[in-house]
Amino acid sequence: MTDPTIARHTQLGLTHDQLTRALYGMMLSRAVDDRLWLLSRQGKAHFVITAAGHEAAQFGCAWAINAGHDYVVPYYRDMALSLALGQSALDLLSHALGKQGDPASGGRQMYGHFSSRRLRIVSGSSSVGSHPIHAVGLALAFRAKGETDIAAITFFGEGATAEGAWHEAINVAGIHQLPVVFVCENNQYAISVHQSKEVPVPDVATKAAGYGMPGVIVDGNDIFAVYAAAREAMQRARTGGGPTLLECKTYRLRPHSNADNDMKYRTAEEVESWRQRDPIRRLSAYLLEHGLSTEADITTLQTHAQAEVDQATQLADQAPFPSPSTLFDHLYGE
Ligand SMILES: Cc1ncc(C[n+]2csc(CCOP(=O)(O)OP(=O)(O)O)c2C)c(N)n1
Ligand SMILES: [Mg+2]
């Protein structure tokens, strides 16, 4: 039993510094997100996918990842996760603007294919639901090489769980009880298609039963709930306990991408009701409530995040595009 008189972050062993850093990172992610939409209007960022609303799900999981050791197989929505693991605003803006300094691909991949060798973030595929297979392959490799104390973690939306490749991935993980964690960021929509038209059960997590692993549901806008569940799942994976399917219930606050008009399939009232549950507001309120930060501290964090994004935008904008002579680099071999 947990003692309700002890603050949640203390129960989870999280320090004040970790909370402040996470809040700053979530604000930074939102500020990059804001900037990407403007850059798309200017014709500089050609494709934008939002992470707004998903920040707690991604930062909560990041706390449970041993960055640079565990392998992370994200999807296009995971910009906040990339920041939480150690990428910078400049990395992401360079990626979005297709510049040479982009760590994901040197400016060759479309936005949303986050990757970093240093951080063991594996480049995903745009084919929805196909990349969990890569995470399962990695977990199988850890097993084959006798590596312990390591896990793979993969992320996807609820729409992805309707894809054949997703079922093959989770099936193999269940059969071999592999060290892999499947994280569903359930935001209720696959672009314009509501969950009720593609997932035959109310909770994606219940699918886990058919694949021989626990399915866990958390409030994905509550960073502490996400961390507690992700930590347990990663711990189980690292210690031979097998895979987990973790469902984080959340909501994307913006259209699917810069090519989408969300007002064609959902209402402004619905979006507003989720704005009230904005994960950044929630973590700020927690810090204030527990006397860990003042309003002035929170405003300072916000100002610094905005300044970091302004500077990163300027640097990325001025940076060179990749040289045509590098067109065939990294395609085959090294
Ligand atoms: C195999 C495949 N089908 C369709 C698409 C087009 N598409 C891109 S994102 C997306 C929605 C996926 O929704 P979900 O898995 O819930 O993730 P979300 O975008 O909501 O985070 C679709 C249908 C695609 N990229 N790949
Ligand atoms: Mg979705």
pLDDT tens sequence across 137-160:
999 999 999 999 999 999 999 999
**What would the pLDDT profile of 161-175 be if each residue is shown by its tens digit?**
999 999 999 999 999
CB–CB of 244/214 below 8 Å?
A: yes
Q: How far is the CA of 215 from the centre of ligand 2 (A)?
A: 18
Indicate if ligand 1 lies below 6 Å from the C-beta of 112: no
**Sequence spans of domains, the chain:** 35-319
DSSP secondary structure of 186-254 = E-SEETTEEGGGT-SSS-GGGGGGGGTS-EEEEETT-HHHHHHHHHHHHHHHHTT---EEEEEE---SS
| Cross-strand bridge partners of residue 154 | 73, 182
Considering the chain, what percentage of its residues have pLDDT values greater than 70? 99
Q: Going by CA atoms, what residue is nearest to atom 3 of ligand 1?
A: 128
Q: Is the CB of 77 under 6 A from ligand 1?
A: yes
pLDDT 10s digits, 217-254: 999 999 999 999 999 999 999 999 999 999 999 999 99
Report the top-level CATH class of 35-319: alpha beta
- Looking up tokens 């979005």, which residue turns up? 96
What's the CA gap between 293 and 222, in Å, rounded? Answer: 18
Residue found under tokens 């502490």: 224
In the reported structure, the alpha carbon of residue 35 is separated from the centroid of ligand 2 by a whole-number distance in angstroms of 23
Q: Which atom of ligand 1 is nearest to the CA of 126?
A: 25
From the CA of 78, the nearest ligand is 1
Mean pLDDT, residues 311-332: 92
